[in-house]
Amino acid sequence: MAYIDGFVLAVPTAKKDEYRKHSSNAVSFFKEFGATRQVEGWGDDVPAGKVTDFQRSVKAKPDETIVFSWLEYPDKATRDAANKKMMDDPRMKEMGDSMPFDGQRMIFAGFTPINDSGKASKTGYIDGFVTPVPADNKDAYREMADKNAAILKEYGATRTVDAWGDDVPDGKVTDYKGAVKAKPDETVVYSWIEWPSKEARDKGWQKAMEDPRMKGMKMPFDGQRVIYGGFAPMLDA
């Protein structure tokens, strides 16, 4: 089964080009160790929330933009072996020393997909989500995700992925659990929707929100603590 390393970080807006170059330089490195895809999404439509949001998740400053990014691996074993090898590789330290953002505020974790519907291809726009789900509601969440994916693909989405928290570490400054105020009995879910363009995304959501199937869908989690936003791909390799 595939495996996802998901990241959320705050990048100084003025360093967008520097971040793009930094990420592009890392593509061959990650692929060397088994990653099959690297995607970097630059914050475009990232609203402030009443309880939680992406900005607070990484303690973003007013002059910073949220980046939602992930690495895809063929399976967890490949990802675990890659992380071990990368930590011992001097190139990793060089990349760490040259990061154009505050790495201490980046949140990251490993996730196992429980819904992966559609085809992975060059995406034109991304909706990103982080959700706290009661561990006992895993099956109910999967059922909801499958129904949600079918509706969104009907209205233009090309792929939907929902990945269940598997290796979610506690952080010293920020982490995924704190980002959504997760309770001890909850698991963090990292998910995204791929669209061919922002226009398709806006029209697709408008139609989906008017669909009675969507309105009648029950959420097996606290929707007030979900963090979400729209991101423009700046790298998809």
- pLDDT, residue 121, reads 80
The model's pTM is 0.96
Instruction: State residue 122's pLDDT score.
Output: 86
Locate the DSSP E strands across the chain: 3-12, 37-45, 64-73, 107-118, 125-134, 159-167, 186-195, 227-236
Angstrom distance (rounded) from CA 143 to CA 17: 40
Give residue-wise pLDDT tens across range 47-72.
999 999 999 999 999 999 999 999 99
Supply the pLDDT for residue 164: 98
Burial zone of 17 (CB within 10 Å; 0-12 exposed, 13-18 middle, 19+ buried): exposed
How many CB atoms within 10 Å of residue 212?
A: 7
Q: Say what the pLDDT of residue 199 is.
A: 98
Distance of CA 140 to the CA centre of its chain: 21
Ranges in the chain, pLDDT < 70: none
Give burial (CB, 10 Å; 0-12/13-18/19+) of 103. Answer: exposed
Domains of the chain, start order? 3-236 (3.30.70.100)
Task: Please report the pLDDT score of residue 120 as a whole number.
Answer: 80
At residue 119, the pLDDT reads: 83
